Chain A
Amino acid sequence: DAGITQSPRYKITETGRQVTLMCHQTWSHSYMFWYRQDLGHGLRLIYYSAAADITDKGEVPDGYVVSRSKTENFPLTLESATRSQTSVYFCASSEIPGQNTEAFFGQGTRLTVV
Chain B
Amino acid sequence: GDSVTQMEGPVTLSEEAFLTINCTYTATGYPSLFWYVQYPGEGLQLLLKATKADDKGSNKGFEATYRKETTSFHLEKGSVQVSDSAVYFCALRMTTDSWGKLQFGAGTQVVVTP
Contact = CB atoms under 8 A, between A and B. Distances in A.
A45 B46 contact: no
Contacts of A101: 100
Interface residues of A, number: 28
A97 B45 contact: no
B45 A42 contact: no
Which of the four size classes fits the interface of chain B? 20 to 34
Chain B interface, DSSP helix/strand/loop, else mixed: loop
B99 A97 contact: yes
A90 B107 CA distance: 15
Interface stretch (B14-22, B66-74, B76-84, B90-98): B90-98
Contacts of A103: 46, 100, 102
Contact of A100 (B4, B51, B97): B51
Interface of B: 4, 6, 32, 36, 41-46, 49, 51, 89, 93, 95, 97-102, 104-107
Interface of A: 31, 33, 35, 37, 40-45, 48, 50, 56, 58, 90, 92, 94, 96-97, 99-103, 105-108
